[in-house]
Chains A and B, each alone.
Chain A
Amino acid sequence: MSEPRIIWRKTVNSVMLTLTGVAAFGVVCVLFLILGYLIWNGGASLNWNFFTQLPKPVGETGGGMANAIVGSLKLLLLAALMGLPIGLLAGVYLAEFGGKTFSFVIRYTTDLLNGVPSIVIGIFAYALVVLPVKHFSALAGGVALGIMVIPITVRSTEEFLRAVPGTLREGAMALGASKWKTIATVVLPAASGGILTGMLLALARVAGETAPLLFTAFGNRYWAPGWGQPIASLPVMIYTYAISPYDDWHRQAWAAGLVLLMLVLLSNLGARFILARSKAV
């Protein structure tokens, strides 16, 4: 082996290894770029009115997105009520009760549902809820988001239940507890930190979803009392305002983007905090 060959190999080695570091650094930079840009642009347009006022009619400047913030919260509440219980129970089934074949089918279906593009979920909710009553509604939007919550909750619930040591179950049963009592009073509490984390992450994910809401919850420039009317939401507002030709609307889109991003990132951080704390105990 000649000397130049070794020098060449060493050069390739250090060049390529440096490049991998540069790549990783670049990707992380994107996150800070996004954050910085949103804070810079959104922070300037964010004011008290944004949280308390309704959108102004086209042509007038000012106004806020109070209805969209409340709308997003209402949609999330619906999604949580529909998606979390089914997800939790199905996760318990997979981890504690399931037989081999049926569990495999359920797991596979869950992954399939998780991979369905969100816009297709929107079509489904449209066909299921909007078509029969012939108008857009908060309920339809909640159904769309609820369906998306299910698969994420199922998989995280199952994963964290499986991580509970079998000895805990045996201990409870040896004391005479029945299986469901064991699950309800020993296994679920032991895994509660992880399960809660999964749920929070699931909600954080659907909180930013826009596509499935376009033709289910639609949008609304006013308050939408009850559950049967079209309702505004932050992501849809960002979309509508961003593609509009008005500068003032663009500013509001930035502000809404900042609020939404903060909401999503903080719940992600919160979820991780819960997980870390439950592991420490």
Chain B
Amino acid sequence: MGHQVPPKSGLRAFLDRLKGGDEVAHLITLTAAAGILLITSLLVLELWQTSALSRHKFGWTFFWTKVWDANFDNFGAAPFIYGTLVTSAIALIIAVPLGLASAIFLSELAPKRLSDVVSFLIDLLAAVPSVIYGLLGIFIVVPLMRTTLGPALKRVLGFTPLFSGPNYGVGFLTAGIVLAIMVVPFIISVSREVLMTVPREQREAALALGATRWESTWKVVVPWARSGIMGSVFLALARALGETMAVTMVIGNDPKISASLFAPGYTIASVIANEFTEATGDLYLSALIELGLVLFLMTFILNGMARLLIVATERGGGHPA
């Protein structure tokens, strides 16, 4: 071992390695990756800091105060949290059955060619900007709700508090319907992919035991993929919660908590969109930013759960092996 070159040390060695270029490339790409970390941390930090005024003044009562009054500097998030949850719930009630059914059709029944074409069209639907859904919401869904759909619902279900009271066309239900149309494509495309990961043997075994096509799908394939499907629902929910433009255009923008789904309401995202530029006074702005923080945390938790569920399904199905 006599002819070994003595290892270079310190700066010289570092510069030598740089000359190869690999370290430089590594460093540059690493910086970009770290940049993402920096941006995200900065985002959380900014939201936290700029909402400090409101957080200190109102504390936890912010969440259950029902008043939103800029003239008296009294701000509570309750009507907005209520509106956000109600519209998203309506959206899911409509979108989940519709989305799951379509996903089943695309993964289990449709021939490959048809399934691919339809999936492509559904992906296009997901790409339509939300302001365009809002535009169609204002000029199609709102009049439809005022003249046709609303009165019909009232005739059938008017005895419940949910469907009573005056119907202006704008309100929770209209916003929920528009949101449902917007999130359906997400439920379909994720569920379809998850359903397609279910092993063929599962279907064949069920069919061999004499199950009908529907029974094998509903009792074997869907349960196998259930956590992934749940994941797609959570993703859709996270999107519905954060959706701004379409909702702002059709919900009526009135910070009230009403049992009736026909009543106008307000959501977290819409109030930020509407009032941010006209927020006079630091506390007003700070309260709006705190609403943004609440929205961020809600979607953060949902997205995290969704991802876990989808990964769990793709690793080995809903059943323990």
Interface residues of A (CB under 8 A from B): 9-10, 12-13, 16-17, 19-24, 26-28, 30-31, 34, 37-38, 41, 85-90, 92-94, 96-98, 102, 105-106, 109-113, 115-124, 126-128, 147, 150-151, 154, 178-181, 183-184, 201, 204-205, 207-211, 214-215, 218, 235, 238-239, 242-243, 250, 253-254, 257, 260-261, 264-265, 268, 272
Q: Is the CB of A128 within 8 A of B42?
A: yes
- Chain B min CB distance to A229 (Å): 16
- Chain B min CB distance to A63 (Å): 19
- Chain B min CB distance to A42 (Å): 10
- Chain A min CB distance to B249 (Å): 6
Q: Is the CB of B140 within 8 A of A37?
A: yes
Q: Is the CB of B36 within 8 A of A150?
A: yes
Residue among B33, B110, B121 making CB contact with A31, cutoff 8 Å? B121
Contacts of A117 in B (CB 8 A): 241-244, 269, 295-296, 299
Q: Is the CB of B273 within 8 A of A214?
A: yes
Mask of B235-268 contacts with A, CB within 8 angstroms, 1/0: 0001001111100010000000000000000000
Residue among A22, A106, A121, A181 making CB contact with B21, cutoff 8 Å? A181
Contacts of A124 in B (CB 8 A): 42-43, 46-47
A87, B35: Cα distance in complex, Å: 10
B213 at the binding interface (Cβ < 8 Å): yes
Contacts of B161 in A (CB 8 A): none
- Chain B min CB distance to A113 (Å): 5
Contacts of B184 in A (CB 8 A): 27, 30
B276 at the binding interface (Cβ < 8 Å): yes
Contacts of B307 in A (CB 8 A): 111
Residue among A98, A116, A181 making CB contact with B43, cutoff 8 Å? A116
9 A–B contact pairs at CB < 8 A?
A12-B214, A34-B132, A115-B300, A116-B296, A181-B21, A211-B244, A239-B131, A268-B127, A272-B120
Q: Which residue of B lies closest to A241 (CB)?
A: B135
A194, B121: Cα distance in complex, Å: 20
- How many B residues have CB within 8 A of the partner chain? 85
Residue among B30, B131, B188, B242 making CB contact with A120, cutoff 8 Å? B242
Mask of B204-239 contacts with A, CB within 8 angstroms, 1/0: 000000001111001000000000000000000010
Q: Is the CB of A24 within 8 A of B214?
A: no
Contacts of A41 in B (CB 8 A): 139
Task: List B119-135 residues whose CB lies under 8 Å from chain A.
Answer: 120-125, 127-132, 134-135
Q: Is the CB of A106 within 8 A of B37?
A: yes
Q: Is the CB of A204 within 8 A of B127?
A: yes
Residue among B22, B241, B272 making CB contact with A180, cutoff 8 Å? B22
- Chain A min CB distance to B187 (Å): 10
Task: List B172-217 residues whose CB lies under 8 Å from chain A.
Answer: 181, 184-185, 188, 212-215
Q: Is the CB of B36 within 8 A of A154?
A: yes
Residue among A92, A113, A214 making CB contact with B277, cutoff 8 Å? A214
| Given known A23-B105, A31-B124, contact A243–B249 (CB-CB < 8 A) | yes
Q: Is the CB of A27 within 8 A of B122?
A: yes
Contacts of B185 in A (CB 8 A): 27
Q: Is the CB of A261 within 8 A of B214?
A: no
A30, B22: Cα distance in complex, Å: 51
| Given known A27-B125, A215-B277, contact A106–B33 (CB-CB < 8 A) | yes
B52 at the binding interface (Cβ < 8 Å): no
B136 at the binding interface (Cβ < 8 Å): yes
